[in-house]
Amino acid sequence: MAVQLSLGSNLGVRRGNLEAALARLGQLPETTLTRRSRVYETEPYGMTGQPGFLNMAAEIETELQPLELLDAIKTIERRLGRRHTERWGPRIIDIDIVLWDNLVLETDTLTVPHPDFRKRAFVLIPLAEIAPQAIDPITGMTVAQLAAQPDLHGRILRLESGD
């Protein structure tokens, strides 16, 4: 199954954190990293008094079940040094499951599609780069259509090289 992910980091060596997360995602059982976007510099969302983020999107193909993948992602985040503090606070790495083919899922620990992705430039712009025709099963809109909306939140700048 194709799964689109959003990755972000605003502490430590941000680009290195993203690269380490991608490497570990590619090492998961029954999982292949198939696409990755460029890296984007973005404003913090929700809590503004913190360093800027580097964000990107990635696509994987996996045979893992949704909660298995979520557990694996949480393990990757912990091993890279993530400590859960306040909501929208600074973090070494954040990996969110955004879309999973046509799946609509809501559990106590996981909601797919990600409930807030439709208005966040830092998720949609990188995602549109790698999966513009992916469909949001809730709205029926493509990622490209969602990314073209004029009311997306947050300034975003594509980085060509370096951190």
Task: Write down the pTM of the prediction.
Answer: 0.91
Identify the band that residue 35 occupies on the pLDDT scale cut at 50, 70 and 90. Answer: very high
Q: Which of 14, 24, 96, 118 is catalytic?
A: 96
In the chain, % of residues over pLDDT 90: 76
Report the pLDDT averaged over residues 54-60: 97
Q: Which of 14, 94, 118, 136 is catalytic?
A: 94
Among candidates 64, 66, 37, 48, which has minimal Cα distance to 10? 48
Q: Which of 36, 91, 118, 120 is catalytic?
A: 91
State residue 50's pLDDT score: 78
As a whole number of angstroms, the distance between CA 151 and CA 15 comes to: 28
Report the pLDDT averaged over residues 97-118: 96
What are the chain's domains?
2-158 (3.30.70.560)
Q: Which of 14, 24, 82, 118 is catalytic?
A: 82
Catalytic residue flag (residue 163): no
State residue 163's pLDDT score: 43
Strands (E), the chain: 2-9, 31-36, 40-42, 53-62, 94-100, 105-106, 111-112, 156-158
State residue 143's pLDDT score: 97
Catalytic residue flag (residue 87): no
Catalytic residue flag (residue 108): no
As a whole number of angstroms, the distance between CA 157 and CA 120 comes to: 14
